[in-house]
Structure 1
Amino acid sequence: MMHGNGAWDDRELHKPIVPPGLGFITCITSLHRDKKKPNDTTAATYSTMATNQVTRWVTNQDGIENLTKETIPMPTPAKGEVLVKISAVSLNYRDTEVVNGLYNYYDKPGTPKKPLVPVSDMCGTVVSVGDDNSPWKVGDRVVSTFLQSHLTGQVYPDHLATGLGKPLDGCLQGYRVFGSEGLVRAPGYLTDEEASCLPIAGVTAWMAIHGMGVRKGEGETVLLQGTGGVSVAGLQIARAGGMKTIITSSSDEKLEKAKALGADYVINYRTSPDWEREVMKITGDKGVDVILETGGAGTLYKSLDCVAFGGLISCIGYVSGREDKAGEARVNLNLLALRRTVTLKGIINGPRDRFEEMCRFYEKHQIRPVVDRVFGFEEAAEAMKYLAGGSHFGKVVVRVE
């Protein structure tokens, strides 16, 4: 939501949306359930191989309140595929847009909305393989890639057609068949809930900072807007890479949590609406080397006023507003980017090989994604409403079993 002072609220969209955390804040309020440990293959509560049934949540893209649950036959993996028992999914702001019928960026004009299973990010266990030559074996813990066919390099329209949670059925279900190439091995030290946070938030943050090549880190400064999943992951990645970090929020409570994660500087943009000036003061008028720009039209001009010469602005969201400004309020990108020789880059997510690169970095630094709250499978709608409300710090997770 855009505020009159040009600031944004703390919801973050990861569009197609992903390091130590130097301390792990676990704000899980999971109805007193025990967290599932890595390699725990306990039978699912809502979907069982024994009954050959899968329970899943379906949306007609007509509102969170209209999510419905249905049961379908257990699918069988074909050659080149595996069947995964899903243990946990993490939610992204994109998922709420899909469910509310607002995620139409890649729809062809006149395309009718069709029922689908929402949510792109999951962690689970391989329970069946389609052929003997599969790179996966039964019992492997895996996480999904967002764009299933995007394996390396630049993203193209064909890759967008393989996005989980739209246009393809997503992961808010007990079991799902995946192509063998659409999975990455889950880091062994993470719980399923933590690992489910990696595909969009983690990879997007990684690409926003290191997408144009792994940065030197030392002596560089990163500005992170808001305290949603991508920004908090970016804070962890930047800190682990030796960068100085500045993070913004309208909540002092969230800023205290950011400090506990190792943020070097925090700015409350509600009490400091000219936050770009604060950034320049902090950096001695140099500006920041990288900005994770989540605000969009309402904040981009401020980002352009506090980025360093030769700096990078990674555009990953637009929570301050979906519409471009008109007239005198329009940002003159040509002039402002030229003024400081800025690189402005849109980040959809990242290919599988960069996801694997990020996982190696996470394992090296033992980074644990920040999980704000865990909901039960029956509480999927409540989880989405909670995320849409913007009160979370880090990630919101639904335990599927």
Structure 2
Amino acid sequence: MQALTLTSPGGLDNLTLSTLADPGRPGEGEVRVAIHATSLNYHDLLVAEGAMPTAHQRILMADGAGVVEEVGEGVTEFAVGDRVVSCFFPQWADGLPFSRVADFTCTPGDGADGFAAEYVVRPASHFTHAPVGWSHAEAATLTTSGLTAWRALVGDAILKAGDTMLALGTGGVSITALQIAKAMGARVIITSSSDEKLAQARTLGADETINYRSTPDWGKAVQDLTDGTGADVVIEVGGPGTLAQSVTAVRTGGHIALIGVLTGHEGVVPTSLLMAKQAKIQGLIVGNRRQQQDFIRALNQTGLRPVIGHRFTGLSSLADAFALQRSGKHFGKITVEW
């Protein structure tokens, strides 16, 4: 079996297409899945570059989509031929997060082997059914960024029709959030440093766009666009470098979904303004299996499809895909199929 492995201490030069032993037949409660696609997320890039240390030889990638080839004794949720997609926190079935969710010890591609492989044998609870009619590449976008956007808007912020949502950037989380918010009848404002990407966002339904490079005080610009009210929900993927502007942009009593750390891990929070606005900052990392099932039911109902900006073919192309991701030149998701 072929798999893409990372040799410590990490770095894209230490990615190797390896021949490993076949995982064999599934045991009780397990399924054997032929994996056909993955999608890239910032978390995967941190692991690949060695910024998040992992095992000496780790099979990468949290996202995986494929076909069930065999089911073990006692498995009733899946049958041979079912198209499935992986879970980011396979041990988190439902309810509130707990300690093992916070440390990534069971997250595929980090604390456990991931899905950059031809075959895996895992407990059936590590997967959900994929959306009906989706390609493997499309389904692979759900595990991390797709579910993060869904949880942020629907599970935590409880977005409703007529609300205004601000999304930072045009990566996978923000573009999926744009799609979900528009499907729910919300107004969407989105930022980017690229006018070309902003034009693409408008074709997806973005109501207002802001180039944060030419408008560095974009928090005030959001206030101006909302007649001084501010955004009901902010999808904050930048972290310390953008959080102050997000606090300016959010409405009094609004919700900031703190998802990413693209600008660093520590910074200054404008606490006085945050208190005055009585706004909520909710940190989150992806979601649980039940939320993924809810998201997929919504996708089957609405017909939304992910935006895949770049598609690579073959496990050996993963390093090139990571290089593109690191450049920041992508729009939406980057996928690899095999």
Same fold? TM cut 0.5: yes
Deviation for aligned residue 1:156: 1.4
- RMSD of aligned alpha carbons: 1.3
Q: Which residue does 1:101 correspond to in 2? A: 50
Q: Deviations over 1:345-390 (max 9, x none)?
A: 1111111111111111112110100001111112111111111111
Matched, 1:64 2:26: no
Amino acid at match of 2:11: G
Moved over 4 A (4+): none
Q: Distance in 1 between matches of 2:65 and 2:173?
A: 18
Superposition pairs of residues 309-324 of structure 1, within 5 angstroms: 309-322=252-265, 324=266
1:276 corresponds in structure 2 to: 219
| Residue 98 of structure 1, CA deviation | 0.1
1:154 to 85, 88, 96: 96
1:122–1:196 Cα contact (<8 Å) kept: yes
State which of 267, 287, 295 in structure 2 corresponds to 1:358: 295
Per-residue deviation, 1:132:
4.5
Q: CA–CA distance in 1 between the matches of 2:270 and 2:41?
A: 30
Q: Aligned residue for 2:194?
A: 251
Paired position in structure 1 for 2:166: 223
* Secondary structure of the structure 2 residue equivalent to 1:103: coil
Contact persistence 2:157–2:255 (CA under 8 A):
no
Counterpart residue number, 2:325? 387
Matches within 5 A, 1:83-122: 83-103=32-52, 113-122=55-64
**With CA pairs under 8 Å and 6+ residues apart, which has the higher RCO, 1 or 2?**
1
Q: Look up the match of 1:197.
A: 141
SS across alignment from 1:153: coil
Structure 2: gaps spanning 5 or more residues = none
Report the identity percentage.
38
CA offsets per residue over residues 209-232 of structure 1, 9 Å max, x none?
1222643x2220000000000000
| Structure with the higher helix share, 1 or 2 | 2
What does 1:229-244 align with in structure 2 at a 5 Å threshold?
A: 229-244=172-187
Show structure 1 runs of 5+ residues with no match: 1-53, 105-111
Tell me which residue corresponds to 1:77: 26
Q: Identify the range of structure 1 (125-134 vs 168-177) with the bigger mean alpha-carbon deviation.
A: 125-134
Shift of 1:177: 1.3
Return the offset for 1:113. 4.5
Deviation sequence 1:233-260 (CA, Å, 0-9, x none): 0000100011000000000110111001
- Conserved? CA contact 2:31–2:70, under 8 Å: yes
Deviation at 1:150, TM superposition (A): 0.7
TM-score, scaled to structure 2: 0.95
Q: CA deviation at 1:135?
A: 1.9
Q: Structure 1 length normalisation: TM-score?
A: 0.81
Equivalence for 2:334? 396
1:177 and 1:91 mapped to 2: Cα distance? 22
